[in-house]
């Protein structure tokens, strides 16, 4: 008997597929099954560094499969997301296959030149996972009903076919038109794929589920597909898969202001909403800290009312640097007198110059001036550093006092060197006065540097920090590391976002019917 695969597909993007998949990964793992998460093709700049399938190196996968592997209590590998497209701007994406960057391609070039190789990579990865697991939980991408892409839809149609998958379709009622979305999606599926659909689930419902019953009955009567559950609107605390959760470019949004701390006792950390922002999950732990608000700012925003600044990572550091400078953000930053931290691409922005900049920036000269707040020079090369890191952190500047073992990861092109009077910071970083930078992503998921930075922001703002200091979901790290035995022991079931996702699914979805369809005990 072949290993069953369940494909969690959707009627659209951002309908809750990742949450449902993560919850099922944890539920199946709790039943003693060996579970393999899988997404054949992902498009996201929120990536993680994991071991390659052969265990000899490190590569990149999308964050959703990283956290689903944690939910399944297995070590994440590049087989969990064999094809990753990282939007680069100007209609191009960096293609990552089995964790390694292949090159920059337009959508047309990708489908014409690389798609068959990408499909072969996905088939190979799925075959390896299925050979070792009791069940594969696959996540689709966007809508499974994009009829213009059905001949090349790797994450949905092709996965359903080569994995011989059963399909659960998720539909988001928060968007409105959920019944039309379900009916239309089922109607537009190729016949052989339509026959694989074993059920549907409605997500993000607010209110009394009994009010939906007439609609659910009619959908089932019209389609023959059972609606296996209605999930209430809830956020288990899993990292966002992509930038859809961020405000659109040019808009401002604040998160973390629902913590019960009075506005006059809180501080606000500004994060410029870069056009090519990457790994925006870096800032979730700050927003979850009592008394801290994270404001995503348009590039031309003033820093009035901002108490600290974090410059985020970027898929294209040079072009984002030019965009920030054109919008006047460099002048705002130079006049700002609060703590500033740059992470990865944000660290590179803070330096004096970027050399070999034309490697990355389409509009760039060979050398581009940075904001000049740190005495560092960054030199780009075509080599890419991708690896998880565990270091004894030694902070300085706005990270002063941060010490001890921390975990994170690095994904970047280019290396930076100190060329002036600055204090080294872990992660090939540097600090001078109120400014610091590091290449370590997930920095603030660790208690010590997060608390050091928040303390510095409060001190600079002249306010007393609230006594309550919330640690991450696992005491020292957030959801990315929950699911390990050590983390589970520290957190307990109620604090683990994967257990919360599992409870959300178990309490509101007919998991027994899914298990019957998959042939699971």
Task: Give the H or E element holding residue 453.
Answer: helix 447-461
Exposed, middle or buried: residue 102 (CB in 10 Å: 0-12, 13-18, 19+)?
middle
List the strands of the sheet with 5-10, edge to edge: 35-38, 135-139, 5-10, 166-172, 197-205, 227-232
Contact 269, 296 (CB under 8 A): no
Give the whole-angstrom CA distance, residue 221 versus residue 383. Answer: 56
Contact 373, 340 (CB under 8 A): yes
Give the whole-angstrom CA distance, residue 60 versus residue 47. Answer: 6
How far from the centroid of its chain's Cα atoms is residue 419's Cα? 34
Q: Supply the residues annotated as catalytic.
A: 344, 441
Task: Give the H or E element holding residue 454.
Answer: helix 447-461
Q: Give the alpha-carbon dihedral of 221, 225, 230, 231, to 10 degrees.
A: -160
Give the whole-angstrom CA distance, residue 94 versus residue 441. Answer: 19
Exposed, middle or buried: residue 420 (CB in 10 Å: 0-12, 13-18, 19+)?
exposed
Q: Which residues have C-beta within 8 Å of that of residue 386, sequence separation ≥ 6?
A: 49, 58, 59, 60, 99, 410, 411
- Pair type for strands 47-51 and 253-255: unpaired
Give the whole-angstrom CA distance, residue 47 versus residue 435. Answer: 26
CB atoms under 10 Å from CB of 184, counted, come to: 14
Give the whole-angstrom CA distance, residue 110 versus residue 92. Answer: 9
**Letter string b/e over residues 349-362, b meaning 16 or more CB atoms within 10 A of that residue's CB:** bbbbbbebbbbbbe
Q: List % helix, strand, coil for the chain (3-state, nearest 5).
A: 35, 30, 35
In 242-352, the DSSP E strands lie at 253-255, 267-272, 277-278, 292-297, 308-311, 313-314, 340-343
Give the whole-angstrom CA distance, residue 208 versus residue 255. Answer: 28
**Phi and psi of 209, rounded to 5°?**
-60, -25
**10, 121, 132, 115: which is closest to 69 by C-alpha?**
132
């Amino acid at each position: 008997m072949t290993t069953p695969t369940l494909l969690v597909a959707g009627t659209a993007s951002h309908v809750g597929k990742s949450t449902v998949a993560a919850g099922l990964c944890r539920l199946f793992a709790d039943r003693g099954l060996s579970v393999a998460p899988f997404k054949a093709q992902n498009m996201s700049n929120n990536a993680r560094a994991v071991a390659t399938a052969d265990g000899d190196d490190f590569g990149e996968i999308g964050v959703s499969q990283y956290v689903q592997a944690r939910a399944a209590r297995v070590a994440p590998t590049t087989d969990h997301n064999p094809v990753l497209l990282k939007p680069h701007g100007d209609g191009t994406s960096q293609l990552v296959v089995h964790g390694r960057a292949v090159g920059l391609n337009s959508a047309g070039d990708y489908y014409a030149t690389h798609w068959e190789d990408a499909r072969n990579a996905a088939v190979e990865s799925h075959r390896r996972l299925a050979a070792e697991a009791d069940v594969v939980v696959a996540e689709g991408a966007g809508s499974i009903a994009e009829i213009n892409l059905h001949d090349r839809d790797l994450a949905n149609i092709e996965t359903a076919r080569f994995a011989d998958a059963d399909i659960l379709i998720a539909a988001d009622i928060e968007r409105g038109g959920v019944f039309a979305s379900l009916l239309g999606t089922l109607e537009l599926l190729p016949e052989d794929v339509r026959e694989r659909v074993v059920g549907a689930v409605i997500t993000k419902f607010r209110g009394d589920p009994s009010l939906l019953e007439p609609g659910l009955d009619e959908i089932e009567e019209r389609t023959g597909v059972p609606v296996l559950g209605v999930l209430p609107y809830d956020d288990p605390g899993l990292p966002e898969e992509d930038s859809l959760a961020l405000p659109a470019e040019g808009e401002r949004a604040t998160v973390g202001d629902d913590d019960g701390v009075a506005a006059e006792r809180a501080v606000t950390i500004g994060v410029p909403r870069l056009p090519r922002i990457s790994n925006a999950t870096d800032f979730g732990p700050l927003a979850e800290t009592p008394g801290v608000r994270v404001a995503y700012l348009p590039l031309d925003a003033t820093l009035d009312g901002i108490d600290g600044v974090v410059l985020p990572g970027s898929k294209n550091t040079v072009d984002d640097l030019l965009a920030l400078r054109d919008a006047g953000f460099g002048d705002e930053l130079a006049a700002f007198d609060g703590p500033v931290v740059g992470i990865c691409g944000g660290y590179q922005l803070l330096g004096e110059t970027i050399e070999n900049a034309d490697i990355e920036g389409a509009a760039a000269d060979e050398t581009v001036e940075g904001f000049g707040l740190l005495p560092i020079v960054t030199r780009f090369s075509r080599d890419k550093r991708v690896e998880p890191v565990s270091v004894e952190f030694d902070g300085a500047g706005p990270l002063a006092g941060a010490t001890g073992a921390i975990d994170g990861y690095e994904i970047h092109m280019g290396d930076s060197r100190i060329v002036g009077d600055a204090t080294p910071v872990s992660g090939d970083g540097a600090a001078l006065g109120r400014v610091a930078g590091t290449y370590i992503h997930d920095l603030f998921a660790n208690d010590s540097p997060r608390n050091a930075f928040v303390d510095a922001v409060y001190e600079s703002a002249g306010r007393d920090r609230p006594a309550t200091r919330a640690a991450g979901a696992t005491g020292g790290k957030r959801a990315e590391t929950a699911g390990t035995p050590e983390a589970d022991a520290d957190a307990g079931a109620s604090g683990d976002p994967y257990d919360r996702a599992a409870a959300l699914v178990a309490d509101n979805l007919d998991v027994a019917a899914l298990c019957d369809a998959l042939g699971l005990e």
